[in-house]
Structure 1
């Protein structure tokens, strides 16, 4: 009798022990799988982040990343034919990345081809960053990366072609501004805001562009804006809200003060750049090189003074007098001034900006005076600033040495 009971208890204990071991092994396996997935995701995010802060990457690194993104490849001979062997007549411009060419594929489709300069280490990082980021982004207000070519030491990115070039050509050209009436400019403002909102909040990655400006806004056949050039962009993961870098990249006049002076960037630094761009669209004037006084007053401080004195409409481009509505122009100036406030905490998010643009009944807070001089500082002895100015469909970069 006791022998049978003992045998039964032993069997039950054995079953329970086996079950416990099985559960433990499954939990460990699941945890290990989850850990591997997290590590891979962190490595992907880290690689994308490091691509903008000065690390070098071999051809093997780049080819591996392009393959991992499942980006369609295109043969070099097809691109050679499309660009007429990269002829000067098809060259759209020159950037820190390298030259950009117009091409026509066999089916008649027009494309823009970015060709990595073989002597540009900076372009190598930008190339990898664009592959990692923009290949995974889809939005009507972001330029689309179509294909990639990696043959015979050539590294080429193939984009949709933007026939109307970039926004700065229309805003700051001697006669082109007349082609942008108020409704068209308002549409462009809203399109840029929607593209930024997608990058900051609606895409599966939280992305800080870091080089938003008029020359990086391309215009399609219908003058719809598309944000381009993601070589300087950075990914934020999880609940990360800001980061710091020793490598300041961007463009004079568009950089938020906390970024230009201390290397601190966040979604609010993009909002600042958007505010500068908004005031440029309204005024038809560049913030860079804008001087109306011996003190070197910027477009931002000039706009704030006019608005504070109740003379905001004096900022408006004279070409808009017949097509604009005064209340809409003044509201947009107000929103632009909110975006360029010195303290990042005072600036709205892009979702708030879109709400303010969409409704004339939302009460707007009073903006504080913007920083006196934006994006300008003197490098310390032994340091230098390097500004590369490009045009059209190219990337424009100013690499600054922080003090």
Structure 2
């Protein structure tokens, strides 16, 4: 369940949203061991069959160059869906150490975890096998929602269930969790949040424990390079900020708002009127305690559970109802193949992107409103069109600086809007190693044409260049979904 593990594991126990009836850790663990298959070692051939030869169509999560590990979905012979994390060739050179570490994680069994059910260690291959979660990641439901924003009661439930997962792991001697973030939180068939077991192991024996932006990394990790239980609580605090705001806010900025008693500025505008000030204040206070600079001043996992339990609302309502998702054991949706532009953006093949955009011309600008008065037409339109014409000529010849200047004159003129011009300037910025500017253009093109897949694909290319691979994968999926919907219509 790495960073874009959008989907990990079918669950085989009944959901129990009534928090008062939750069994204790030991009883819950024993019951779940009866319902889940025991931990085992798989052969490489078994996993090849399950994943159709590690087909790219079965990739559900993919890290970047800093941590090149890929997660595939697969189906075993008994029809059980699984998630398979495949490490890069140089990870875990000591096979015995890998097997021992995986076996230790595989002994954990809890309804708050997407549990590890096996591993494979053959030759240079190192693979982990976990339950498959069919209902996407917290990142998807919190930052990229389509039908409805996540409800306040569900956000509180996510925080509690994660705290319970961390508390369980701590009680079993596995308090260290690497790179806890919104992509590590997965939703099962009942809509209940689960913590990915993959984070209980590093990306490699000597690999870094954090692949996120440094602004979200625990301060002591930056000093020592070591993860401690207190570091995990810090990362939990950043997740609470995500739940509060519906955005990925750097802790330093959030703490400034909290100290200035502007905590309502943190709150997701979609939540207005749906929570009490007391509950909001309590959750903000808990986040600030988790984010204390000194590790010893942060609460432990058990304290998090104690603090979050009284805040729970609508405990009788099943998670899938709160989430607005379908309930049941539905098989994962088939992945839609990337279009040529989507594929080129995923590979950051700028030459191929240039060829596709040039060939497409301005056909996607059709229907974009350009309401101009006669006065504006006579006085300004010719100059604006000339700027675009010069920009197009420079774009064809890959005279990037000239193309950027001319397209900028066209855009700044303000007499016409063109998502295609923004897309072309975006590519020029990418080819000029200016990914931040490119991202801005791709996002502006999306504002003008919200259903234009090209804008999402170009965002993905820019995000890949910025090292934001998780968000890039999400943009690729959004673009692919739009393209598929367009063809269906």
2:195 corresponding residue in structure 1: 227
Q: What per-residue deviation string (whole Å, max 9, x for no partner) do you get for residues 182-213 of structure 1?
A: 1111111001111111222x21x242113211
Q: Secondary structure of the equivalent of 2:305?
A: helix
1:314 corresponding residue in structure 2: 265
| Structure 1 unaligned residues grouped into runs of 5+ | 1-69, 235-245, 288-298, 361-386, 395-403
Q: What per-residue deviation string (whole Å, max 9, x for no partner) do you get for residues 370-394 of structure 1?
A: xxxxxxxxxxxxxxxxx975549x9
How many angstroms apart in 1 are the aligned matches of 2:101 and 2:69?
14
**Alignment check: 8 A CA contact 1:177 1:284 kept:** no
Q: Does 1:149 align with 2:109?
A: no
Decide which structure has greater strand share: 1
Decide which structure has greater helix share: 2
Output the TM-score relative to the length of structure 2.
Answer: 0.50
**Alignment check: 8 A CA contact 2:142 2:149 kept:** no
Q: Does 1:80 align with 2:48?
A: yes
The count of residues paired between Structure 1 and Structure 2 equals 274
Deviation at 1:97, TM superposition (A): 5.4
Output the TM-score relative to the length of structure 1.
Answer: 0.60
Deviation at 1:102, TM superposition (A): 0.9
How many angstroms apart in 2 are the aligned matches of 1:182 and 1:271?
22
Q: Does 1:335 align with 2:335?
A: no
**Alignment check: 8 A CA contact 1:112 1:158 kept:** yes
2:57 corresponding residue in structure 1: 89
Q: Secondary structure of the equivalent of 2:215?
A: coil
1:282 corresponding residue in structure 2: 244
2:221 corresponding residue in structure 1: 259
How many angstroms apart in 1 are the aligned matches of 2:97 and 2:240?
26
**Alignment check: 8 A CA contact 1:113 1:159 kept:** yes
**Alignment check: 8 A CA contact 1:110 1:161 kept:** yes
| Structure 2 unaligned residues grouped into runs of 5+ | 1-37, 312-465, 474-489
Please identify the structure whose Cα radius of gyration is greater. 1
1:352 corresponding residue in structure 2: 303
How many angstroms apart in 2 are the aligned matches of 1:155 and 1:274?
28
Deviation at 1:314, TM superposition (A): 2.2
Deviation at 1:258, TM superposition (A): 1.6
Alignment CA distance shift 1:127-1:284 (3 Å): farther
Alignment CA distance shift 1:265-1:107 (3 Å): closer
Alignment CA distance shift 1:97-1:122 (3 Å): farther
1:216 corresponding residue in structure 2: 184
2:233 corresponding residue in structure 1: 271
Matches within 5 A, 1:353-392: 353-359=304-310, 390-391=469-470
Q: Which has the higher contact order (CA 8 A, sep 6+)?
A: 1
